[in-house]
Amino acid sequence: MRPASCYEAGVIVRATLLLVGLAATVAVAAPTPAATGAHALVLGVAQDGGVPHIGCRQELCATARRDPARRVAVASLGLVDEATGERFLIDATPDLESQLERLNAGRETERRRPVDGVLLTHAHVGHYAGLMLFGREALGADRVAVHATPGMAAFLRANGPWSQLVEQRQVELHERPPGEEFALGRFRVTPLKVPHRDEFSDTVGYRVRGPRGSLLYVPDVDKWEKWERRLEDEVRAVDVALLDATFFDAQEIPGRAIADIPHPLVGETLDRLAAAGLASRLVLVHFNHTNRLLWDAGAVRAVEASGARVARSGDRFPL
């Protein structure tokens, strides 16, 4: 028997390498349960001004100025589908740059289209001002899909500098009327109109349903009693509800009666949901820099003892 020629040996080696390579490819591509999952990823939990808050002299803010690791990014929620690779972002905050990095976590994206879509809740600075980074002074984005109510879309089209993003096609507006469900990849999303200070646009929260779970995201709302929907019904309809916890209690705003504070206090939300047996679905988010849930471990423990949770960046919820 003649020995295998160098050519044949080379073919065998290459074939073997090919098979090993294929096996490796298959092994890498074989989906693990975690990798197929769709989930929401908390990317920030602070009220619009973030932490440190401009002009704030309290310990929380002073500490965060000394130690950047103690900064708290503005509230934003990522929607991740590991099966399709898609990433969506609810709200474009002033912390958009680092939040997109965290959302993509090393995923390759088109450089000028770093996210598959942005959903806006309303025209307050912590929720849409990050769009400015899509403009030509920064990314010069290429038709990033922006989903917003017709009112919010009209505001962006009619007012600079946002109008320039639309004219130059750095963003592409998709009007999403409140109450009407739409599809984003495998996610089904419904904007829900909520009462809030609507100077420039109306305000919505989002109900998101994925292949294996659902959530409600309402980072800003006036008192629950003013909502045309019933809080308990909306929370019961989902697995988890991330809700406005701007203020912990009335002591944070001296000189103002509880009734005058235009947000549900943490205790008010917690009491209602606990009475309905729904506290375990509550996740508190959108903390003003005065809210003790940002620094007071005892207050956090008291909330958690009720079954509710205090959102932190990096938290994940299956969708």
Which residues of this protein are in contact with Zn ion, per CB under 5 A? Answer: 48, 124, 126, 220
CB of 187: closest distance to Zn ion in angstroms? 23
Query: Which is closer to Zn ion, CB of 86 or CB of 220?
Result: 220
Q: Output the smallest distance, CB 219 to Zn ion, in A.
A: 6
Which of 92, 95, 89, 101 has the alpha carbon at shortest distance from 71? 95
Q: Which is nearer to Zn ion, 48 or 81 (CB)?
A: 48
Structure tokens at 60: 């929380």
Q: Which one, 87 or 122, has the nearer CB to Zn ion?
A: 122
DSSP per-residue letters across 253-314: STT--GGGSSS--HHHHHHHHHHTT-GGGEEEE-B-TT-GGGT-HHHHHHHHHTT-EE--TT
At closest approach, how far in Å is the CB of 123 from Zn ion? 8
Report the residue closest to Zn ion, judged by CB: 124
Q: Where are the beta strands (DSSP E) in the chain?
A: 38-44, 76-81, 87-90, 118-119, 144-148, 171-175, 182-184, 187-193, 204-209, 214-218, 240-244, 282-285, 309-310, 316-318
- Report which of 282, 278, 285 is spatially closest to residue 263, judged by C-alpha positions: 285
Q: Closer CB to Zn ion, residue 126 or residue 205?
A: 126
Q: Closest distance between Zn ion and the C-beta of residue 267, in Å?
A: 20
Nearer to Zn ion, 202 or 234 (CB): 202
Which is closer to Zn ion, CB of 48 or CB of 202? 48
- Edge to edge, the sheet with strand 87-90 lists 171-175, 144-148, 118-119, 87-90, 76-81, 38-44, 316-318
Smaller CB distance to Zn ion: residue 48 or 116?
A: 48
Q: How far is the CB of 14 from Zn ion (least distance, A)?
A: 59
User: Smallest gap, in angstroms, from Cβ of residue 112 to Zn ion?
Assistant: 28
| Residue/partner pairs of 247-254 with CB below 8 Å, 24 or more apart | 247/288, 247/290, 247/291, 248/290, 248/291, 248/292, 248/293, 248/299, 252/288, 252/290, 252/291, 253/290
**Least Cβ distance, residue 21 to Zn ion (angstroms):** 50
